Amino acid sequence: MLLIDVFLANTVLVAVLVGLIFVFHALLPDPGRCKIVEAQFPRVSVIIPARDEEKNIGACLQSLVDQDYPEFELLVVDDCSADRTGQIAQELAARDSRVKHVVKSEPPASGWTGKCSALKEAVEHAGGDWLFFVDADTRHQPGSIRSALSFALENKAHMVSFWPLHYLRSPAAKFILPTLWSSLFWSDPWLRVNDLSEDRAYSLGHCILVDKRAYVLVGGHQSVREWIIEDSALAKIMKRQGLSVQIADGRKLFGVDIDADWQGIWRRWTKMLFALLDFRLIKLFFMLIFVNSVMLMPWLQALVVAGMWLAGVAHPWFTQLALLAAIQLVFVLTWFLRIAGHYRGLAGWCLASLPASALFTSAAFVYSAWLVFRRADVEWRGRTYTVTRLELPDGR
């Protein structure tokens, strides 16, 4: 009876967790077509922090200068780059008056992350009523700024971030990111972040649109200067001030080009995963259960059933065990097909590698927590940071 109970319990858990992923995607608002008339659009400052981004910055900038938005400026913050990032930005600025090349020649001051320091300096040069913080590896559709602003204005939002289309170029990205992102969405499947009456707040950092008045009100990046995940920290502060924080489906607006190797993905995510769980061990515990129940256990249980069949074991519950294992694998396949709409580059081997992906993701979560408790130093883009538990300015 114990074996059938384990199979049945995991089947129920897989069904619930896969269902929650469907709930998240179903509730994720679609910006849709722009409904705001052109005269109502405010001036926008698009800000790109760029440090050693020569392979990305050109395509990103070109997709932004091709926007159909009526009035915007584009600020590229060259954050002490050692490659051709600054040269590429400067060449485009010479051809297009909307592009401003902001050179940051000094490293961040003590107590600041490099990105927060770069963004703060860029805002000082920004003349827009709205700030559009964009990563250098993004690629934008011609109407992305128009649709993003339309969504923000129609929903009376002060801060909006967008879940993009991911172009997975490297084996490492294909292997880990679908599992990793789905695990994080289990933290808020009902999109409480979009409900002003709920405390839940975070943002998806590839593309963030912020009302400049709200940004100034909460102290801007000065208020989150030590945070490695400054995007979500800023969202928390804004929501605690009674401001509307929203996330929406951005796959029709822009994509993210991801060509990171194994080491790059490990370093990028382990420095912040435990912070995304609010530094809580109980959340880490349940996250490990969820990831391995969905991505690992169905395959292990299928192997158990296959082993019984090959060995000719006459288990009294064999048919039921085989059926439960098959149901779990169907749920996993359904999840994989559902999330594929936000990814390009997924292949059959990605589905088959899910057990290994679950173990990698689990190790990343555990290592991230260990970094925090150890107050370890991590290196990111040539700079060293201490990973520790931080409090927001109001102490909560």
Residues 41, 71 contacting (CB under 8 angstroms): yes
DSSP 8-state code for residue 341: G
pLDDT given for residue 315 in this prediction: 74
pLDDT given for residue 1 in this prediction: 64
Tokens of 280: 């809580």
pLDDT given for residue 395 in this prediction: 41
Q: Lay out the sheet containing 343-344: strands in order across.
A: 138-140, 254-258, 165-168, 343-344
pLDDT given for residue 111 in this prediction: 86
User: For residues 383 and 169, what is the distance between their CA atoms, to the nearest angstrom?
Assistant: 26
User: For residues 130 and 268, what is the distance between their CA atoms, to the nearest angstrom?
Assistant: 28
Closest CA to 18 of 344, 330, 346, 350: 330
- Write down the residue that tokens 């097909």 correspond to: 337
User: For residues 312 and 243, what is the distance between their CA atoms, to the nearest angstrom?
Assistant: 63
Q: Is 386 helix (H, G, I), strand (E, B) or coil?
A: strand
Backbone angles phi, psi at 32, to 5 degrees: 60, -155
List the pLDDT tens digit at each of the 396 positions of the chain.
688 899 999 999 999 999 999 999 999 999 976 666 666 789 999 999 999 999 999 999 999 999 989 899 999 999 888 899 999 999 999 999 999 999 887 788 888 998 999 999 999 999 999 999 999 999 999 989 999 999 999 999 999 999 999 999 999 999 999 999 999 999 999 999 999 999 999 999 899 999 999 999 999 999 999 998 999 999 999 999 999 999 999 999 999 999 999 999 999 999 999 999 999 999 999 999 999 999 999 999 999 999 988 887 767 788 899 999 999 999 999 999 999 999 999 999 999 999 999 999 999 999 999 999 998 888 877 788 888 888 877 644
User: For residues 13 and 6, what is the distance between their CA atoms, to the nearest angstrom?
Assistant: 11
Tokens of 345: 């580059």
- Write down the residue that tokens 């991911």 correspond to: 166
pTM: 0.93
pLDDT given for residue 37 in this prediction: 65
Closest CA to 323 of 355, 301, 307: 301
Domains and CATH numbers, the chain: 2-23+280-386 (no CATH), 28-261 (3.90.550.10)
